[in-house]
Structure 1
Amino acid sequence: MKLENISYIGNKTAYILRQNNIWTPYDLVMNFPKSYENYNIVNLDEAKHNEVITVIGRILNIEHFKAKVHVIKLLIKVEKFQVSALIFNQPFLLKSFKVDDDVLIKGKYNLYSKEIAVSTISKNLSKKAITPIYNIEGVTDYMISRAINDIFTNKKVEIYETLPQSILKRFSLPSRVEMVKNLHMPETIEKLNYSIRRLKYEEAIEMQLKLQKGLLNKIIRLPIEYEIEKVREFISSLPFELTKDQKEVVNEIYRDFKKDYQTKRLIQGDVGSGKTIVAIIAILGVLTAGKQAVLMVPTEILASQQYETVKNLLTSYNVSLLTSKVGNKQEILSKLESGEIDVLVGTHSVASEYVSFKDLGLIIIDEQHKFGVELRESLFKKSESANLIYLTATPIPRTLGIAMFGDLATSEIKSRPSYQKPVKTKHFEESKLNLIIDEIVETVEKGEHVFVVVPAISSELKDFNIENTSQILRPILNEKLYILHGEISSDDRNKIVEDFSNSNGGVLLATSMIEVGIDLKSATLMVVLAAENFGLSQLHQLRGRVGRGDKESKFYTVSNKEDVERLKILERVSSGFKLSEYDLKLRGPGEFLGLRQSGVLKAKYLDFSTDYKILMDARKLSIEIISDESLLENPSYYYLNKILNEE
């Protein structure tokens, strides 16, 4: 059927719709509204910062005062919460409301101060005008709604079901026909949300099926026959006891070794939680089985540090470093291929095509989001069956973790070693900079090390950058000031870090490139200038550069911008996992997308900050479908199988 056969659609409207890739009645009904003008009541504990929300509550108290403008301040009880509703320049409303009135309020919500800047307030609690907004230029929403009503009234389209009845029943979802009707012609908020929930499940199931496809083609190998006594002896020889989290993750890795197929695991460790020693214990396991291991890290500075750590701990084995600057490259490659080298530590060089292993049993990639997909794939090809471990110090919100890494087993290391003291965190306004500089000087005079971090090398758009900050610090610190940024050559960067680390106190002025890769026990103070340019998770990564020894350490953020409340979260939250949830709520998933370069997070309906249960349900269902051949052959699973068979 043509578009012109639908009531209210003439030639001109049909032309515009075709320009928007809408060719048939089916295309039109599957073009869902972009938004709704409605009074959708939200749960306050799910509300996001600066989101326009609608709530119903009871007035507990009324105040009004004149600042620059007239303000009415209502204290409102909403569910179990109390929030303030601020009404600007509408003093006449004082006569309309009194204490104990139930009111409907719509406005922008401040998550931190628990305040709503009111745009609409009413005692009519039953507002239910829900108008679909299609945003098709040249065609009114009213016209589209009338056309869609004609399609359904006169049965001008057939909508096929894409999910089996068993799945609809299991998750209490509407049929596809009911969903489509509700999305275009919602009678109530409940019915609209009921249908949006189905859209979310459809999206989550498709996402998880694509992630879990690897389960259909497990790479079979013999279990890794490690010598557990040697591993236990090594762990007992360490000068510290592993934390509870470290012990659990080690056990999970060794359970992977016992499996008869290749495994892939993501280990998330908060900054300073001790991921490296867990990785070394994992490496030792495959070495006792007569296999080789490789550790790829993002920078030459970190590669050198990790090489020294691994070499000093695994003294019975041959450990080598491979970077673009290594001189005896041919000797290393020859010994690696013959099996004389047990562990290779390095940068992207370890994934080069000329690198070959005799029997690679374990691949570990540290901060894997720093590497491109092709580079990681080239390293995977070094072995057909080696176990894979990703390490990251960027905690990922649990919803995003399922969405991005649902195909990986996941481990978490949250607790820090007991000898490390909590880092004292404080936010300052720029007017206090002179006091901070005095503290920087005092810290250097004690022979300790300081990091000063700025958002740019040179920029008129940033209050602080390398150029103008060095002009402030150089006359005070002289030769005690070291400068590091991305435009300095790799060789020079290594030399600067080495000189800074070996100095008897000094200041390293740098961009955020130092968020990983510098492990300096004597670093006790970090100052981040123009901190409004950094996400909470990134600031937490930077904070992890101090407090790595047993001395008291401090982390200061400096900003004059309006997001002081966001930055002050760092003062009371020390967990990177909790901060990642804040970042997801405040800045969206874009803050974390670099962790996996793929289209898997192109979600239209899922909300990664709230839809954890839906993603978990979808993940469990996807694994069940892939693991059950009878389901794969069931006709009612046709559309789900189609997803699995897509290239």
Structure 2
Amino acid sequence: MELTELKLTARRFGLLQKMGITTLEQLLKTYPFRYESHEQLPFDQWQKGDTVGFAGLIASRPVVIRLGKNRTMTRFTVISWNQELQVTVFNRPWLNAFPFGETIHIRGTYNGEGKVTAMQAQKKPLEEGLVPVYSMTKGMKPADMPAILDKALEHLDQLPDLVPPDLRRRYRLLDKDTSYRWIHRPPDEKRLHLAIRTLKYEEFLCFQCAVQSESALGQRKTPRMFDQALADAFLDQFPYDLTADQRQAIEDVWSDQRRDTTMYRLVQGDVGSGKTVVAMAAIRACELSGAQSAMMAPTEILARQHLKTLQSAGIEAKLLVSSLSRKEKQEVLEGLRTGTVSVVVGTHSLFQDPVEFADLGLVVADEQQRFGVSQRRQLLEKGK
């Protein structure tokens, strides 16, 4: 199903295009990167630095302070929990948005001494429970992704059910519709974990089927030979010891890179478990073999984060995203074509037609479920 059928505003549709999201499936697989627990704790339990939520009466006329460069700070007093709280809201200089004597719902950071910096200040009640937080591209507002996903969740019947019923029963998995609803709108933590478990199983199943299908074709590739001592030295530079699991994953990947059969591996782990180090070890080995690597991320923000991480580890990588100037793009494209650029990080721009590689030997996909099969195939076909 195409996103045009969701009847989004032109601005929101453009933002999704900018993020490389073009289908309903890609949108629904744009999972929250974290969840915030929004409980309205009483004032006597607040600690400095806490995210707090409360409702109260506006007890003073708002005052707008101009900070320069189109930035403002609006302050007013709210009576809540039998306390007088001073609320500060940035970049909302409209006095009629905070009328004296009306009820307002605030979520923000408690700064101590009865002072709150608001992230949300609205007339309608705050959303409570587990609230999803999504990655955003430039120009996107916090309310955009939840509103877009609300529309997308109305069309779950358009999404194929990839897990056979007998496997769902055997492994006590949720049905397709429920798993997507609960990961985007979790009723509670227990049901969120059930949704995550189901969708992880689906991802593993699809990946394993793809691996078996490709293996059956007996695809061959150029073995990527590299200096083991230099590869080990790359890992030794990090100021921490790798875990046994990281070591094993890296050894498995390096072994596959030396073989003449195509490597397909899924590196699975929680946030902060060190998956990026495994990816960097593979990229460094490929670089030492004389071949090129491409790392693709679903958003420009993530691509830039990966670029910074690679460069901080001593890997000379270049960025290829849609926001670059024409001259910058041409320089990177020419470097990839001639081989002077050995590592590139980017978004969906990487698998578009103008991109040519001298010798692409490795593709790393972050959040691979966000890229369609045809998109991944387009990029793989650019290499050997």
Tell me which interval the TM-score lies in, with the shorter structure as reference length: 0.3 to 0.5
TM-score by length of 2: 0.45
TM-score by length of 1: 0.27
